[in-house]
Amino acid sequence: MTLQGKTAVVTGSNSGIGLGVARELARAGANIVLNSFTDRDEDHALAEALGTEFGVTARYIAADMSKAADCRALIEKAGACDILVNNAGIQHVAPIDDFPVEKWDAIVAINMSSAFHTTAAALPVMRAAGWGRVVNIASAHGLTASPFKSAYVAAKHGVVGLTKVTALETAEEPITANAICPGYVLTPLVEAQIPDTMEKYGMGREEVIKKVMLERQPSREFATVEQLGGTTVFLCSDAAAQITGTTISVDGGWTAL
Ligand code: NAD
């Protein structure tokens, strides 16, 4: 599979799944735009290293995915956008009646509304190029629920819905839109949940991983960022040209239960 000559914009890609996806797209030959809300030397160095490793053009563009104007400016500054991967995401765990409103707003904005804004800006660019792929990184929580994750579950279900509408509005064009629904992947986002969970259940780190997290995942293994990247590359390939409006679970069987 070659994506040579294509430009991929991956939101929230200076760590975790976004960076893993960007690496696999670069390995397949795509030019890369990395993004997050920070604008540090190390962010730009990450893009430079990626470009050197895979012989592609790679840039880092700072843009805050909680802000509509930044989402749209990211696509404009990218200059090209054949592949859009909406990956930026945050998480907060609390009961509904004790869920901080600012956390709700931030999760909905970053995990869901950003995908609306970037897609709205990217579709005209894809139409002008005559080819496009939208890949939304949703979650197993876009198809199922867990207590205490109201904003995350609602936003991820929203992303799955937005994906279907994007697919229907582009169905007669050489553009596809799909969502990937990962189960647990051991990224900074998941690492950040471990200390609280250890405290809540009085468990050690390994016990939390085994008995709380991987208990939901029948494979009893984390998915990897490389596997998420490989699935993204597949969705961008010609083999997937008729796959649109669907979700692909990379969850070790979570949603089959
Ligand atoms: P992560 O924390 O490593 O990555 C999140 C990325 O989003 C980072 O690059 C971060 O800088 C960026 N980000 C956060 N706020 C932003 C903002 N305002 N503007 C721009 N970028 C911002 O976590 P991850 O696990 O790699 O998560 C990536 C995506 O995968 C998220 O959408 C998450 O919901 C989803 N996901 C993760 C898992 C998992 O188990 N790790 C499972 C299902 C879905």
- Residue 185 near ligand 1, beta carbon < 6 Å: yes
Exposed (0-12), middle (13-18) or buried (19+): which is 100, by Cβ within 10 Å? exposed
Indicate the pLDDT class of residue 1, thresholds 50, 70 and 90: low
| Spacing, Cα 190 to ligand 1 middle (Å) | 9
> What average pLDDT does the segment 88-110 reach?
98
| Spacing, Cα 172 to ligand 1 middle (Å) | 31
| Spacing, Cα 42 to ligand 1 middle (Å) | 18
- Cα of first residue to Cα of last residue in the chain, in angstroms, is 33
Ligand 1 atom at minimum distance from 228 CA: 30
Task: Specify the pTM.
Answer: 0.98
Give pLDDT tens digits for 149-190: 999 999 999 999 999 999 999 999 999 999 999 999 999 999
- Residue 64 near ligand 1, beta carbon < 6 Å: yes
Answer for the pair 10, 216: CB distance below 8 angstroms, yes or no.
no
Residue nearest to atom 44 of ligand 1 (CA): 139
C-alpha span between 141 and 217 (Å, rounded): 13
DSSP state of 173: T
Indicate the pLDDT class of residue 99, thresholds 50, 70 and 90: very high
Answer for the pair 8, 82: CB distance below 8 angstroms, yes or no.
yes
* Cα-based distances in Å from 83 to 10, 131, 157, 203: 8, 9, 22, 42
| Spacing, Cα 189 to ligand 1 middle (Å) | 6
Q: What ipTM was assigned to the predicted interfaces of this complex?
A: 0.99
- Residue 189 near ligand 1, beta carbon < 6 Å: yes
Ligand 1 atom at minimum distance from 225 CA: 26
C-alpha span between 10 and 32 (Å, rounded): 8
Residue nearest to atom 6 of ligand 1 (CA): 12
Ligand 1 atom at minimum distance from 186 CA: 41
Select from 100, 30, 27, 90 the least CA-distant residue to 64: 90
Select from 176, 248, 232 the least CA-distant residue to 3: 232
Query: Is residue 60 flagged as an active site residue?
Result: no
Indicate the pLDDT class of residue 6, thresholds 50, 70 and 90: very high
